[in-house]
Structure formats: C-alpha cells, structure tokens
Amino acid sequence: MSPTGVYVHVPFCVARCAYCDFAIHLTTDEAVHARYYDALVREWETRASGPGPVVSIYFGGGTPSLAPPAAIARIISAIKHLSPVAADLEVTLEANPGTVTEDTLHGYREAGVNRLSLGVQAADTQILKAMNRTHNFVQAVEAIGWARAAGMDNVNLDAIYGYPGQELADVERTVQALLDQEPEHLSLYQLQVEPGTPLARDVSRGRAALPDPDLTADMADRAAELSEAVGLRRYEVSNFARPGRTSRHNRLYWNQDPYVGLGMAAHSFDGRRRSWNVRSLSGYLARVEAGQPSELSGETLGQEALMSEFVWLGLRQVDGIAALNFSQRFGVTLESRFGSVIEPLRRSGLIAAERGRLFLSPRGFEVMNRILPEFLPESPQELS
C-alpha cells in the first residue's frame, strides 16, 4: 500500500499578495469560514476510502492560520477516524506572521500539528510592503518564538528572492535573518511572475522591474551557500533541510505518491488519475452541501505519461531517482525506456548515473527547465 498524503486547502486571506495567483478568498465572515470547515469534513467523509496509510496532512492556503484551532482539530480527527495513519504522521500548517498568537499556536499543536510553515518572505519592510504582505519581520520572529514555546520542533520558513527592487545584499540579509532563527527547514523560492497578478500588471506597465537574470542567479547561489554553510542541505530546487527534516508532504508529490486534496481548487492523485476540485468557494460549498462530487475535472495518465512524470518530478530532487524504484513501478528498466534521452545528457555533463541513481549534475540542476522536457512523451499528453 502506497503511503498517502492529505492536502487541505484553506483559501481564506486578509489581503492578496502582489505575486499571488492561488485560489484564495478574501472574507472575514466567520459564518462562511465555519460552513467551509464543515464542508471539508464532509468531503473527506465521502472520499476517505483511500489506499495506504496517511503519512502526511498538509494545511495549505490561502492562510490556514486564519482557521481556529478547533476547526483544525476537527479536520485532523476526522482524517484519523476514517483512515489508518502512520505512527510518524507529519501534520504541517502554513501560517502567516500577524495572524497567529501564542494561544492559537498552542491550540494547533494540541490539535496535532507538528510542523509549522511560516510565510516570512522577506526581512525588509519595504519589500514586504511591495509584496502587499500584512506583517513585518518583527512579527515573524515573534511567531517563531511562540511556535517553539508551543512545542513545534519542526519549523519551515518561506522566503522569496528575485523581487523587483531587491539587491543581492537584501537577499543575503533576509536569508541570514531567517537562518538566525535556526529553522529545521527553509524554502527559498525564486519569484515567478504569474499572469493576472497585480505584480504582473506592474511589470508590464513598467512600474516594477525584475532584477537582471544574472543578478537573480547570484541571489540563488548566495542563498544556497549561506544555508548549506549552517547545515541546511538542499534536497529539491527550492528546499533546504537539516538531516531528517525534509518535508514528507512535498516528497509525496515529487515521488509520484498518491494524495487526496480537500477543499476548493485542491488537487488529488490516486496513482493513475490526477483530478482537481471546483475553483470557487461558492461552487465548492454548493456541491459539497448538496452531496455532489467536488471534482471539477481530471485526467488519467497512461503508462508512458506516468513513466515520464516519475522521471521529471523525481529529477527535481537533488538525489534524483532510484533506477530500482523505476523498474519496480513500471516493469521496465529506466535504461531501456529513457537510455536514448539520458545518454546525450550524460555526455554533456548535465546528468549523472551513479550507485543506482539518476540525478542532475550541479550544472544540469541550474538549467533543469531545458532538460526535463526531454523526458516528456513525444506527442502531447495521452489522456483517457
């Protein structure tokens, strides 16, 4: 039985961040929030008959820390009630500084949350303002202290680099300030300008200028250097962790393991089929409350698509993929299926195959967008 994850989407936010194109909902109406948490439990009750034991529950957003601890507790216990869970179950909650208190963090810990992911994003007040974040760095430090006091011994901090107006020194300062908090895990995301966001409009109208790509590359290198110097090892494009503290949940995604996504716009994967829920809050509530499926659409992957995806998802990780794992899953060897793609990449020094693993070289890792498409099936996705 494959280990399974449960993703729980909490869409509520107090403001939209300038770079954000996630499925969120700006409301503080407590009645709406309560209806939504009821719907999450109800959705789980109709979908719980998943395969293996649940190894991870992940509250993502939106801003999950807007949910009262009691709501989080109810959802966690509903999951445990209907599904076997692993002894070392990881329960992550994303939180924004400024939306948590000492009490709520205690409450989350009591409810079973054992990993906190805090969206700090930057140490610099100006940049935080430009991002339309509703907190400052002092509030972030305060939240980390409360989390530690509440017994959270697994804390991730998020930051973004490559933001308009950022200099190399700003990124160094932010990363150093985060490292000073001694997190177990660090996610350093290069800014992606998504169409339709306020940031995209500012960039297209010339009101914001992205840093030069070479400068952004320097930022990435410098941030990685600082992190690794204090023992946070990179294990995926944007993620660094102390030994044994990698994100169980994200590894499910990268290892093509199944997960159930609850809530509006949440994505699920059952091992063959990828599906996604209706994207609006009203649509989601209407469906779940009427006892209808929350799924909007989906696609079933054929064997070729699964093999391809397994490789390109796996290669996002520094350690890449195990050849044995591939042949056990698909009944053919990695070599026989992808040898002709791998060989020229290996000769160019972009990929390496050692000790039974296939992984990108440091240079290959830097330009993976140029390499991973080589593993896509020839024709566009075969769907059924």
Partner 1 sequence: MTPQVLDQMQLERERGITIKAQAVRLSYRRPGESEPYVMNLIDTPGHVDFTYEVSRSLAACEGALLVVDASQGVEAQTLANLYLALEHDLAIIPVINKIDLPSAEPERVAAELLEVGVEGEPVLVSAKLGLGIDTILDAIVDRIPPPSGDAAAPLQALIFDSRFDAYKGVLVYVRVASGTLSASDRIRFMQGGGEFQVQEVGVFRPALTPVAELGAGEVGYFAAAIRDVRETRVGDTVTGAERPAATSLPGYRPAQPMVFSGLYPVDSQEYGRLKEALEKLQLNDAALVFEPETSEALGFGFRAGFLGLLHLEVVQERIEREYGLSLITTAPNVAIRVKLPGGGELLVDNPARLPATGSIEALEEPFVDASIIVPSEYIGAVMDLAQDRRGEYRDMTYLDPLRVLITYRLPLSEIMYDFFDQLKSRTRGYASFDYTFDTYRASDLVRLDILLNGEVVDALSVIVHRQKAEVRGRALVEKLKELIPRQMFEVPVQAAIGGRVIARETVRAMRKDVLAKCYGGDITRKRKLLEKQREGKRRMKSVGNVELPQEAFMAILKLGPS
Q: Which residues bind partner 1 (CB under 8 A)?
A: 7, 9, 22, 60, 189-192, 213-214, 216-217, 220, 237-238, 250, 253-254, 259, 261, 266-269, 274, 276, 299, 309, 312-313, 348, 350, 365-370, 372-373, 376, 380-381
| SS3 assignment, position 290 | coil
Residue with tokens 């890792």: 365
- Which residues, at least 6 apart from 221, have a Cβ–Cβ distance to it below 8 Å? none
Give me the half-sphere count of Cα atoms (radius 13 Å) on the Cβ side of residue 61: 24
Nearest to 82 by CA among 54, 109, 56: 54
- Cβ 54 vs Cβ 90: under 8 Å: no
CB of 348 to partner 1, least distance (A): 8
CB of 100 to partner 1, least distance (A): 20
Residue 372, judged by CB atoms within 10 A of its CB (0-12, 13-18, 19+), counts as middle
* Residue with smaller CB distance to partner 1, 40 or 150: 40
CB of 253 to partner 1, least distance (A): 5
Dihedrals phi, psi of 83, to nearest 5 degrees: -145, 145
Please tell me the distance from the alpha carbon of residue 188 to that of residue 209, in angstroms, as a whole number: 20
CB of 192 to partner 1, least distance (A): 6
CB of 223 to partner 1, least distance (A): 12
* Residue with smaller CB distance to partner 1, 12 or 253: 253
CB of 36 to partner 1, least distance (A): 16
* Residue with smaller CB distance to partner 1, 349 or 356: 349
* Residue with smaller CB distance to partner 1, 36 or 259: 259
* Residue with smaller CB distance to partner 1, 72 or 150: 72
Please tell me the distance from the alpha carbon of residue 226 to that of residue 267, in angstroms, as a whole number: 34
* Residue with smaller CB distance to partner 1, 69 or 261: 261
* Residue with smaller CB distance to partner 1, 303 or 381: 381
CB of 75 to partner 1, least distance (A): 16
Instruction: Quote the crossing angle between the two packed helices 102-111 and 69-82, to the nearest 10°.
Output: 10
Residue with tokens 């591939």: 326
Please tell me the distance from the alpha carbon of residue 249 to that of residue 88, in angstroms, as a whole number: 12
- Cβ 153 vs Cβ 142: under 8 Å: no
* Residue with smaller CB distance to partner 1, 22 or 146: 22
CA distances from 217 to 120, 122, 162, 305, 371 (A): 21, 18, 9, 32, 18
CB of 270 to partner 1, least distance (A): 12
